[in-house]
Amino acid sequence: MPELRLRLSGIGGQGIVFAGRLLAQALLEAGKHVTLRYAYGAEVMGTPVHSELVISSEPILCPYFEKADVAVVLHPRACAEAISGLSPTGLLVLDSGVNAQGKIPLKVRVEVRPFVALSSRDRPGDPGRLAPVAALGFLAKLGLFPLDPLLRAASTGRAAEENLEALKLGFSL
Amino acid sequence: MNHSEKKFWSGNIAVAEGALAAGVDFYAGYPITPSSEIMEHMARELPKRGGIFLQAEDEIAAIFMLIGASWADAKPMTATSGPGFSLMQEGLGIAVMTETPLLVVDVMRAGPGTGQASKAAQGDLLQARFGRHGDQILPVFAPFSVQDCFDLTVFAVNVAEKLRTPVVLLSDELLAHTWEEVAVPREVERVERRRPRNMEPPFGSEDPRIPPPMPRLGEGFGVLMTGSTHDPWGFRRTSDPGTHRDLVTRLWEKIWRNRDWLCRYQAFGLEKAGVGIVAYGSAARSALATRTLLSGKIDVGVVVLQTVWPLPEEPILKLAERARFILVPELSLGQLIFDVERIVAGRCQVLGFGKIGGGVPIYPEELAEKIAEEWR
CATH number for the domain that contains residue B128: 3.40.50.970
Same domain, B53 and B150: yes
Identify the domain containing residue A84 by its residue range.
4-172
pLDDT at A1: 44
Closest among A49, A89, A65 to A3, alpha carbons compared:
A65
Burial A88-105 (b: 16+ CB within 10 A, else e): eebbbbbbebbebeeeee
Residue % of chain B over a pLDDT of 90: 95
Q: Which tens digits make up the pLDDT trace of B226-247?
A: 999 999 999 999 999 999 999 9
Evaluate if residue B2 carries a pLDDT over 70: no
CATH number at residue A61: 3.40.920.10
Split into its structural domains, chain A has a count of: 1
Same domain, B165 and B314: no
Evaluate if residue B91 carries a pLDDT over 70: yes
Q: Is residue B322 part of a domain?
A: yes
Q: Is residue B246 part of a domain?
A: no
Contact status of B295 with chain A (Cβ, < 8 Å): no
Q: Which tens digits make up the pLDDT trace of B26-72?
A: 999 999 999 999 999 999 999 999 999 999 999 999 999 999 999 99
Q: Is residue B49 part of a domain?
A: yes
Same domain, B297 and B179: no
Same domain, B171 and B287: no
Q: Which tens digits make up the pLDDT trace of B253-262?
A: 999 999 999 9
Q: Is residue B153 part of a domain?
A: yes
Which residues of A are less than 8 Å from B289 in CB distance? 61-62
Q: Is residue B208 part of a domain?
A: no
Give the best residue of B12, B32, B81, B118 to mutate against chain A (max A CB count within 10 A). B118
DSSP calls for B69-112: HHHTT--EEEEE-HHHHHHTHHHHHHHHHHT--EEEEEEEEE-S
Q: pLDDT by residue for chain A (173 residues), tens digit each?
A: 458 999 999 999 899 999 999 999 999 999 999 999 999 888 777 889 999 999 999 999 999 999 999 999 999 999 999 999 999 999 999 999 999 888 888 899 999 999 999 988 888 888 788 999 999 999 999 999 999 999 999 999 889 999 999 999 999 99
Same domain, B290 and B179: no
ipTM value of the model? 0.94
For the ranges A29-43, B96-110, B317-331, the lowest mean pLDDT is seen at A29-43
Same domain, B180 and B51: yes
Closest Cβ opposite residue A24 in set B179, B282, B292 = B179
Nearest CA in chain A to B173: A39
Q: Which long-range contacts (CB under 8 A, 24 or more apart) does A31-34 make?
A: A32/A1, A32/A56, A32/A57, A32/A145, A33/A57, A33/A58, A33/A59, A33/A60, A33/B181, A34/A60, A34/B8, A34/B181
CATH number at residue B301: 3.40.50.920
Give the best residue of A11, A23, A33, A62 to mutate against chain B (max B CB count within 10 A). A62
* Portion 214-273 of B in contact with A at CB < 8 A: none
Identify the domain containing residue B53 by its residue range.
3-185
Same domain, B163 and B271: no
CA distance A60 to chain B (A): 9
Which residues of A are less than 8 Å from B181 in CB distance? 28, 33-34
pLDDT at A2: 56
Same domain, B180 and B288: no
Closest among B65, B258, B25 to B163, alpha carbons compared:
B258
Same domain, B170 and B276: no
Same domain, B148 and B29: yes
Split into its structural domains, chain B has a count of: 2
Q: Is residue B334 part of a domain?
A: yes
Same domain, B164 and B280: no
H-helix or E-strand containing B269? none
Name residues whose C-beta falls within 8 Å of residue A97's C-beta, 6 or more positions apart in sequence. Answer: A75, A76, A114, A116, A117
Same domain, B175 and B30: yes
Residue A126 is given by DSSP the state: -
Asked if B178 lies within 8 A of A37 by C-beta distance, the reply is yes
